[in-house]
Chain A
């Protein structure tokens, strides 16, 4: 096994990176933060004995007790609203919203209180509240269990939005979100909860690296030389779709670079611009409806910043202007490799 060659030796030897599911990685991150800081609380509907409907909080109550892993009454405004009060008292609450479509009762607390209190108080008040929302489709769920409401929150100043696409990022992002003094909404791609990846945990006591809340990651380089004809920018559940599209394009000799944005507020435009400088074309992919979505913002900004670098207009692939469709036809609605490849072909044709 070659990995052993690069592994540190002696006392600092870290545990070899294990293969864990994305949901399990979040569980490990929650456990790490609960253990590191007694002010961290996990709260939400059914997060205790059940471990959450996706079992992301499984085992935490047994380890940290009912005061720190709290089953709340069934009310989303209550979950976020009381988390605000707890944060004002010096706690670091991590709220679980059971499903994407059920965050709206908390919308007012999130946008009118949570997002604004730091600015209103001239920086005196800090609200380190994390809101975890399992979101997105591809699990064959019924109504209100597959939505992507991120743009509705991205429009509000004072919030940070992130979405991991693999186990390592899920671990790092969750720890960073909890450590961050700002309110962070973590959009967790529920369709990827079971997808496995390596998670290397930092040595005990190492502070989380907050830059994962701001920075995109190159998920696929275009060719050995770094050249390529198109950049695919995606986040969360769309990253594996973009990677699959890139594989197909490669088979046809089209080299593409895949950027995993990770952060939705702020968006790492520097990374996008750098990639566009290499490729000259940009296709943005997300599950949320295209209309007024994150892709619209990216297209506008990239056009401003990279007008002379672009060989084609920035194209978007995403959901339609429809209520999320019945699950049996969600694959026609969601941007998969085929629609992404078609968009790339359009971009190449300009």
Chain B
């Protein structure tokens, strides 16, 4: 068989191998509990949002189901001074950075374009153009370096995004400028219906090597390991050793978005095998085994999650569409005669 288009050793995340290197360092018990809490809250919010979409209250929803460990585990390794440049599915990262997840709802309801206060939590806006956030992330990291600031940037992207030319450019720039940036690739197996092997014939952990950006793979369903790998990478980056890449091997348990139908392309057994590696019960078992959390803790987390879901629902139903005339207000920072003329026309209708 000609090799050019032959299936390669699959870089799609492998089912449980059981031989992952245990992380050299572990989060402190309090951090581990905070990670667990944010994972559960993220899931509750995610499920509420999925339900809201099914009921016609949101135009679309991109679930983070199954990716909570990769997102929350990594995000808890960031310091105050660090910055996040997310894609469009990083709900767990936002929750970990203290962004009120309810602020995501207007974007997906069609009431705004997703403009929370990015400075407040050092989380840039979601980007719906796949891979486009990586270059601004590197530029921001260049700015941090020019300022002599302490922080680093973590840019989140998917396995599909790695095929975008802009992501290759971002790797070139990051290496060339020795920018303090971490590329955190969540390899969740699929880009809509396209499996990772269509994007990459070599493990994505190695994608940066030729650019001068070293990478590691980590079990993306192991929150401790995601935290440890991110903490270690940020330590090296902040010590001036240049950019890094992490490939978190995880799985998108739900559909790509609520418009997707994974049953058309994805084997049910594959989903089931990953269901068995659900990162939330896994961390809970770890906390229990190590005696780091008790029943009261889990009960408190569950009730906080239920409250967030209920609140999100209430908040979503209360979102009103904006007045079209207000949309003219922020296109430019200075007066633009065309905008002024059209704004006046709309107001006078």
Binding site for B on A (CB under 8 A): 67, 72-73, 75, 77-78, 80-91, 105, 108-109, 112-113, 116-126, 157-158, 160, 180-182, 210, 214, 265-270
A selection of 21 A-B contacts at a CB cut-off of 8 Å is: A67-B146, A75-B172, A77-B169, A81-B132, A81-B135, A81-B139, A81-B169, A82-B177, A88-B139, A89-B147, A108-B166, A109-B166, A119-B331, A121-B330, A123-B330, A123-B333, A125-B118, A158-B332, A180-B334, A214-B336, A266-B338
Binding site for A on B (CB under 8 A): 112-115, 117-119, 124-125, 127, 129, 132, 134-144, 146-147, 165-166, 169-170, 172-173, 176-177, 327, 329-339
- CB-CB < 8 A to A109: which residues of B? 132, 135, 166
A81 touches B118 (CB 8 A): no
Q: Which of A89, A108, A157 contacts B143 (CB 8 A)?
A: A89
How distant is the Cα of A80 from the Cα of B166 in the complex, in angstroms?
11
Smallest CB-CB separation from A91: which chain B residue? B143
A157 touches B169 (CB 8 A): no
A160 touches B336 (CB 8 A): yes
CB distance from B126 to the nearest CB of A (A): 9
A82 touches B136 (CB 8 A): yes
- CB-CB < 8 A to A182: which residues of B? 332-334, 336
* A-B contact number at CB 8 A: 145
How distant is the Cα of A269 from the Cα of B134 in the complex, in angstroms?
39
How distant is the Cα of A90 from the Cα of B83 in the complex, in angstroms?
14
- CB-CB < 8 A to A87: which residues of B? 139
Name the residue in A83, A112, A119, A180 with the highest tally of chain B Cβ atoms < 10 Å from its Cβ: A119
Given contacts A77-B165, A82-B173, contact A122 B139 (CB under 8 A): no
- CB-CB < 8 A to A158: which residues of B? 331-332
Name the residue in A81, A113, A214, A268 with the highest tally of chain B Cβ atoms < 10 Å from its Cβ: A81
- CB-CB < 8 A to B118: which residues of A? 121, 124-125
- CB-CB < 8 A to B176: which residues of A? 72-73
CB distance from B89 to the nearest CB of A (A): 18
Shortest 7 CB-CB contacts between residues of A and residues of B: A85-B139, A81-B135, A89-B143, A82-B139, A181-B333, A85-B140, A85-B136
How distant is the Cα of A158 from the Cα of B143 in the complex, in angstroms?
23
How distant is the Cα of A88 from the Cα of B85 in the complex, in angstroms?
12
- CB-CB < 8 A to B137: which residues of A? 85
How distant is the Cα of A85 from the Cα of B125 in the complex, in angstroms?
12
CB distance from A23 to the nearest CB of B (A): 27
CB distance from A68 to the nearest CB of B (A): 9
CB distance from A206 to the nearest CB of B (A): 18
How distant is the Cα of A112 from the Cα of B115 in the complex, in angstroms?
15
How distant is the Cα of A73 from the Cα of B177 in the complex, in angstroms?
9
How distant is the Cα of A89 from the Cα of B118 in the complex, in angstroms?
12
- CB-CB < 8 A to B173: which residues of A? 72-73, 75, 78, 82
- CB-CB < 8 A to A73: which residues of B? 169, 172-173, 176
Q: Which of B113, B127, B140, B147 contacts A119 (CB 8 A)?
A: B113
- CB-CB < 8 A to A72: which residues of B? 173, 176
A88 touches B140 (CB 8 A): yes
How distant is the Cα of A83 from the Cα of B135 in the complex, in angstroms?
9
CB distance from B250 to the nearest CB of A (A): 26
B135 touches A268 (CB 8 A): no
CB distance from B180 to the nearest CB of A (A): 12
B115 touches A120 (CB 8 A): yes
How distant is the Cα of A180 from the Cα of B332 in the complex, in angstroms?
10
- CB-CB < 8 A to A81: which residues of B? 132, 134-136, 138-139, 166, 169-170
Smallest CB-CB separation from A123: which chain B residue? B330
- CB-CB < 8 A to A117: which residues of B? 125
- CB-CB < 8 A to A112: which residues of B? 129, 132
A121 touches B172 (CB 8 A): no
4 additional contacts, CB 8 Å, given A91-B143, A120-B114, A266-B336?
Answer: A81-B138, A89-B146, A113-B127, A158-B331
How distant is the Cα of A122 from the Cα of B107 in the complex, in angstroms?
13
Name the residue in B129, B132, B169, B337 with the highest tally of chain A Cβ atoms < 10 Å from its Cβ: B169
Smallest CB-CB separation from B138: which chain A residue? A82
How distant is the Cα of A113 from the Cα of B132 in the complex, in angstroms?
8
- CB-CB < 8 A to A80: which residues of B? 135
Smallest CB-CB separation from A268: which chain B residue? B337
Smallest CB-CB separation from B137: which chain A residue? A85
- CB-CB < 8 A to B143: which residues of A? 85-86, 88-91
Given contacts A72-B173, A78-B135, A108-B166, contact A121 B333 (CB under 8 A): no
Given contacts A88-B139, A89-B144, contact A78 B132 (CB under 8 A): no
Given contacts A81-B132, A82-B142, A84-B139, contact A122 B331 (CB under 8 A): no
A84 touches B136 (CB 8 A): yes
Smallest CB-CB separation from B120: which chain A residue? A124
How distant is the Cα of A182 from the Cα of B132 in the complex, in angstroms?
20
- CB-CB < 8 A to A268: which residues of B? 337
